Amino acid sequence: MLDGKKSLFSGMQATGTLTLGNYLGALKNWLTLHNDYECFYCVVDEHSITVRQDPAELRKRARNLLMLYLAAGLDPEKNCIYYQSHVSAHAELAWILNCFTYMGELSRMTQFKDKSAKHADNINAGLFTYPVLMAADILLFQSDVVPVGHDQLQHLEITRDIAGRFNAIYGDVFTIPEPYVGKVGAKIMSLQDPLKKMSKSDENPNASIFLLDKPDDIRRKFKRAVTDSEGQVAYRDEQPGIKNLIDIYCACLGKTPGEVEKEFAGLGYGVFKEAVGEAVVGVLAPLQARFEELSKDKAYVDGVIRAGAEKAGYYAFKTLRKVQKKVGFPERIK
Ligand code: TYM
């Protein structure tokens, strides 16, 4: 709750280019939430440096990500869009929350286990405390809900635990956030291995659809998508490749799996894959066109960045000051 209105926070990492999974699982669900919530959408560039980044590349990706938020249809007049590194309260609250988080609970995080296996030469403390920074992101804005895909639910759970623990000691300081997971598209799988989630960092470029992929590349990737030999467009766990394509088709067109099964009954996988490719091209075309326009409008994007940092900073520091007071830091002398 902020100033009597329910509030919401979500963010994405500026590592790699956004995938269709990020879009259908998260971004697409964000677009109308400003009707019910004070919304904060952050480009979480501080989270990105838990793995090594090329500085120029990170800066470019962070800006592209922010422009993708806008291109997808987030209205900056109705949503606060900003860079995490522009509001130092994130890092400051994360430090305090570190002191209320246990090594044991952090070592149970599956993302930490996955990432440390993948970056075995760089298992840094930031990678370990990543969920605490995420908790700080969410709690700074007294968020009632956090819209995310399935893979972030464990981080939401630890955020709730940290907030509850803090509140138990100091009184009602933080709102305890609830996850908000979309009904369709919360777990989009790899097109090459439908048992694995679609990921920005997949080494096989055919496994993921990137939001700025050219239409022909999108069509080609769907044509090559791994399926099975059942030959029936059916929504069942035994056919994970087809199930994933049905999910994508439903999320793009607002249909239900049952309707899709009927639509493609008796038709081959070739026809279905082509239809899914077209549906995705159709959804991404306006986003790509808007992204092109924004790339040419530096002044407008800069204005959004400036205003976003100011508004986010106002609320974030309000919470941070309250927390600092609660834990016993000396008051500032005016
Ligand atoms: P990130 O950048 O990996 O992903 C951004 C959002 O996209 C969702 N997502 C997916 N949804 C469906 N299918 C997929 N294959 C798929 N892949 C990703 C994610 O669930 C997420 O909602 N730690 C976060 C970023 C973060 C954050 C936060 C999120 C930092 N602070 C506070 C919410 C609140 C992350 O790495 O997301």
CA 251 – CA 245 distance, rounded (Å):
10
Do 69 and 152 share a domain, yes or no?
A: yes
- The verdict on 51 and 174 lying in the same domain is yes
- Within this chain, do residues 44 and 79 fall inside the same structural domain, yes or no? yes
The answer to whether position 288 is within a domain reads yes
Give the pLDDT confidence score for residue 266 in this predicted structure. Answer: 93
Residue with the smallest CA separation from ligand 1 atom 1 is: 12
- Residues 279 and 274: their CA atoms lie apart, in Å, by 9
Residues 24 and 149 in one domain: yes
Task: Tell me, in angstroms, the distance from the centre of ligand 1 to residue 272's CA.
Answer: 28
Q: From ligand 1's centre to the CA of 22, what distance in Å?
A: 7
Q: What is the domain-level CATH number for residue 248?
A: 1.10.240.10
Q: Tell me what pLDDT residue 198 has.
A: 95
Instruction: Calculate how far, in angstroms, residue 289's C-alpha sits from the geometric centre of ligand 1.
Output: 24
Closest ligand 1 atom, residue 155 Cα: 23
317 occurs within a structural domain:
yes
131 and 41 in one domain?
A: yes
Per-residue burial over 67-91, b = 16 or more CB atoms within 10 Å of its CB, e = otherwise: bbbbbbebebeebbbbbbbbbebbe
Residue 200 catalytic? Answer: yes
Please name the residues in contact with 327: beta carbons below 8 A apart, sequence gap of 6 or more: 96, 170
Considering the domain boundaries, does residue 177 fall inside one? yes
Cβ(11) – ligand 1 distance below 6 Å: yes
Query: Of all atoms in ligand 1, which is nearest to the CA of residue 138?
Result: 32
Mark whether 40 and 175 lie in a shared domain: yes
Measured in Å, residue 65 CA sits from the centre of ligand 1 at 13
Per-residue model confidence (pLDDT) at position 201: 83
- Is residue 209, in this structure, part of any structural domain at all? no
The residue to mutate among 12, 58, 112, having the most atoms of ligand 1 within 8 angstroms of its beta carbon, is 12
Q: What is the pLDDT of residue 186?
A: 79
For residue 15, the ligand 1 atom closest to its alpha carbon is 2
> Dmax over Cα atoms in the chain, in whole Å?
76
Distance CA 53, CA 14 (A): 10
CA of 152 to the centre of ligand 1 (A): 6
Domain that holds residue 150: 7-181+298-327
Residue 35, Cβ density class (10 Å: 0-12 exposed, 13-18 middle, ≥19 buried):
exposed
Q: Is 39 in the pocket of ligand 1 (CB under 6 A)?
A: no
Do 16 and 139 lie in one domain? The reply is yes
Question: 152 CB less than 6 Å from ligand 1?
Answer: yes
Q: Which atom of ligand 1 is closest in space to residue 188's alpha carbon? A: 13
* Catalytic-role residue among 28, 60, 113, 115: 115
Strand 38-43, strand 79-83: pairing = parallel
pLDDT given at position 237: 96
For residues 69 and 163, state if they share a domain. yes
237 inside domain: yes
Q: Give yes or no: residues 222 and 155 share one domain.
A: no
Q: Is 193 in the pocket of ligand 1 (CB under 6 A)?
A: no
HSE, CB side, 13 Å, CA atoms: give it for residue 181: 14
Bridge partners (DSSP) of residue 220 are: none
pLDDT at 81: 98
Ligand 1 pocket, residue 187 CB under 6 Å: yes
Asked whether residue 29 is domain-assigned, the answer is: yes
Q: Are residues 81 and 220 in the same domain?
A: no
How far apart, in Å, are the Cα atoms of 286 and each of 228, 232, 248, 250? 32, 32, 18, 19
Give yes or no: 197 in active site.
yes
Q: Residue 21 is part of a domain; what is its CATH number? A: 3.40.50.620
Looking at residue 118, its pLDDT comes to: 87
Paired strand residues for 10: 41
Question: What secondary structure letter does DSSP report for 322?
Answer: H
141 close to 315: Cβ distance less than 8 angstroms? yes
Residue 83 and residue 21 share a domain: yes
pLDDT for 15 equals 80
Structure tokens at 264: 């493609």
Q: What is the number of domains present in the chain?
A: 2
For the chain, helix, strand, coil in percent to 5 are 55, 10, 35
Catalytic one of 187, 200, 318, 326? 200
- Report CA(23)–ligand 1 centroid distance (Å): 10
Is the same domain home to 167 and 92?
yes
Q: Does residue 64 lie in a domain region?
A: yes
pLDDT tens, per residue, the chain with 334 residues: 898 899 999 999 988 789 999 999 889 999 999 999 999 999 999 999 999 999 999 999 999 999 999 999 999 999 999 999 999 999 999 999 999 999 999 999 999 999 899 889 999 999 999 999 999 999 999 999 999 988 999 999 999 999 999 999 999 999 999 999 987 777 999 999 999 999 988 889 999 999 999 999 999 999 999 999 999 999 999 999 999 999 999 999 999 999 999 999 999 999 999 999 999 999 999 999 999 999 999 999 999 999 999 999 999 999 999 999 999 999 989 8
| Cβ(80) – ligand 1 distance below 6 Å | no
The answer to the question of residue 25 being in a domain is: yes
